[in-house]
Amino acid sequence: MSAEPSLHATHLPAVRARLRALRSEAGYDPGADRFRERVRTVVVIGSSSRGGSSIFAEILRRTPQLLHFRAEINPFFVLGGRAWPESGAGSDALTAAHAADPADMDALSEDLAFDCGTADDTLPDPASVARFAVDLTARLTMQWPETAFALADVRAALVATLATLEAEHGWPPGRFVDAQLFHALFLARMRRVYPAINPYYYDLSRDLVARHDPTAPLPGGPPSPYLVEEPPFVTIVPWRRASAEALAARPVLVKTPSNAYRLPFLQALFPNAEIKLLHLTRNVAASVNGLYDGWRFPGFYSHPVDHPLRIGGYTDAFPTWGERWWKFDLPPGWQDWTDRGLEEVCAFQWRAAHTALLDWLDADPARRDASLRLRFEDVVGAPERQQDVFASLTRWLGIAVDEPLARVLAGALPTVMATETPRRQRWFKRAELLSPILADPASRAIMERLGYAPDPATWI
């Protein structure tokens, strides 16, 4: 199979140029914060893909005591030439050597500074609406890299959508109430001008999309040959960018499963920061089942690889794109798993991520002392167990269970990037398929290192 031209050589320079022009038009000063030098604490949520990190990060994103990115930071690594294949690493792994070029790191720092901050639920004045229009345009540019979006078009669609939400859906003036409803209406309006947009590629309820944009076509494979952001695309909310004072005082939370292979790079990227690992674990059965569902879900396209895929249960089920598109993280050694069964590939991804995290911790006792390990099973467990988990977490982070955290913990946990309705022991539906994985000594060894009981009946 012949390789497509790399994103870096074709569309990526144009995408970067459009983003720079947008920020210049909006009066954004990318160098004002010296972002990477000012950050003092970086908390990395380390997990495997489909290990529960999206829900966990969404819970923590509610508190302004931490600084956040709107979603995963992979798109900024793509823009900065620090993603496969432009990185030259052969996988998602990055070392300190990948941070050696000051100009590249300054450009990456500017991208991260633009995105770092805290969520807001207000749009109180025209200036805040204008800032949100810039943010929406930037995000659309990363989600649809082959389309050039005009800020004026995005601002007009934003203002009209907010007017509709106030007039027809009861939104109070100046408040931002529901990201899902907003994006369903906003994207439908944007699609009239930019028909390449398809709301079905977003982390939105399909029923919601069908109700507000009934002519939108159902997706059939990746949205583009060139991706900066991996679908399902995120739905963003109004945002307060981090000040220099906040960067010095508050931890910056980073959630991207591929960062399991990038911890040395992150330390070099933030030279003045302590890197603290929040190791979020999930048992092999639930994780592999979630990955299996994700590989067969119309989303999570991450890498258009130049090595033909012959993955049983995936390539044969989706021949149009299943020979080329790898999903989720790309661990070192992935080339040896391109002709295996899908359940084996998923187990390899789970083992590779946790092995990398465990090995990084074991290499330095100080890292272990500064880390915290939590089980996703406890995060979504009984209320009393959940309270214990977040009490430990907030003590470790040095923050309080403030009103936003207490509110989300008292209610239903958010559903983020789900392929099915979450339920306990969903992996039981594939117990027979997964049984060789559960009996595999390699998987058993990782489960033992993570502290899980050997009996699969105890895993949720």
Classified as helix, coil or strand, 353 is: helix
**192, part of any domain:** yes
- Please tell me the predicted confidence (pLDDT) of residue 417: 52
Contacts of 124 (CB under 8 A, 6+ apart): 174
Give residue 220's pLDDT band: very low, low, confident or very high (50, 70, 90).
Answer: confident
- Could you tell me if 98 and 157 lie in one domain? no
Q: Where are the alpha helices (DSSP H) in 192-231?
A: 206-212
Give residue 62's pLDDT band: very low, low, confident or very high (50, 70, 90).
Answer: confident
- Could you tell me if 135 and 196 lie in one domain? yes
- Could you tell me if 441 and 414 lie in one domain? yes
The domain boundary, picked from 237, 270, 300, lies at 237
- Could you tell me if 276 and 383 lie in one domain? yes
Q: What is the mean pLDDT of residues 187-197?
A: 98
- Could you tell me if 102 and 125 lie in one domain? no
Q: What is the mean pLDDT of residues 395-424?
A: 72
- Please tell me the predicted confidence (pLDDT) of residue 121: 94
Question: Which tens digits make up the pLDDT trace of 12-24?
Answer: 889 999 999 998 8
Question: Which tens digits make up the pLDDT trace of 112-133?
Answer: 999 999 999 999 999 999 999 9
**305, part of any domain:** no
Cis peptide before 308 (omega within 30 of 0): no
Question: In Å, what is the CA distance from 422 to each residue of 55, 208, 324?
Answer: 11, 19, 29
- Could you tell me if 262 and 408 lie in one domain? yes
Least trusted range by pLDDT, from 3-7, 201-205, 322-326:
3-7
Give residue 427's pLDDT band: very low, low, confident or very high (50, 70, 90).
Answer: low
Q: 433: which strand partners?
A: none
What is the domain extent for residue 158? 121-237
- Please tell me the predicted confidence (pLDDT) of residue 431: 78
Give residue 419's pLDDT band: very low, low, confident or very high (50, 70, 90).
Answer: low
Q: What is the mean pLDDT of residues 204-219?
A: 95
**231, part of any domain:** yes
- Please tell me the predicted confidence (pLDDT) of residue 138: 96
- Please tell me the predicted confidence (pLDDT) of residue 454: 78
Structure tokens at 104: 């590249």
Q: What is the DSSP string of 84-115?
A: TTTTSSSSS---GGGG--HHHHHHHHHHHHHH
User: Model's pTM, two decimal places?
Assistant: 0.92
Give residue 421's pLDDT band: very low, low, confident or very high (50, 70, 90).
Answer: low
**321, part of any domain:** no
Beta strand pairing call for 372-375 and 325-327: unpaired
**166, part of any domain:** yes
- Could you tell me if 223 and 166 lie in one domain? yes
**126, part of any domain:** yes
Q: How many domains does the chain have?
A: 2
- Percent of the chain predicted with pLDDT > 90: 74
- Please tell me the predicted confidence (pLDDT) of residue 402: 87
- Could you tell me if 70 and 135 lie in one domain? no
Average pLDDT along the chain: 90
What's the burial of 109, exposed, middle or buried (CB within 10 Å: 0-12/13-18/19+)? Answer: buried
- Dmax (CA) of the chain: 60
- Could you tell me if 412 and 400 lie in one domain? yes
Q: E strands, 306-364, where? A: 325-327
Beta strand pairing call for 301-304 and 325-327: antiparallel
Amino acid at 338: T
Question: Which tens digits make up the pLDDT trace of 226-271?
Answer: 899 999 999 999 999 999 899 999 999 999 999 999 999 999 999 9
**302, part of any domain:** no
The domain boundary, picked from 237, 262, 283, lies at 237
**300, part of any domain:** no
- Could you tell me if 398 and 438 lie in one domain? yes
The domain boundary, picked from 175, 203, 237, lies at 237
- Could you tell me if 52 and 144 lie in one domain? no
Give residue 1's pLDDT band: very low, low, confident or very high (50, 70, 90).
Answer: very low
- Please tell me the predicted confidence (pLDDT) of residue 3: 41
Segment (H or E) for 143: helix 126-143
- Please tell me the predicted confidence (pLDDT) of residue 5: 44
- Please tell me the predicted confidence (pLDDT) of residue 229: 95
Question: Which tens digits make up the pLDDT trace of 281-295?
Answer: 999 999 999 999 999
- Percent of the chain predicted with pLDDT > 70: 92
Q: What is the mean pLDDT of residues 193-219?
A: 96
- Could you tell me if 231 and 255 lie in one domain? no
Examine the pLDDT at 437 and tell me if it is beyond 50: yes
Cβ contact 277:360 at 8 Å: yes
Q: Residue 130 and residue 19: Cα distance in Å, rounded? A: 16
Give residue 415's pLDDT band: very low, low, confident or very high (50, 70, 90).
Answer: low
Examine the pLDDT at 296 and tell me if it is beyond 80: yes
Query: What CATH number does residue 48 fall under?
Result: 3.40.50
- Please tell me the predicted confidence (pLDDT) of residue 409: 76
Higher-pLDDT residue of 385 and 350 is 350
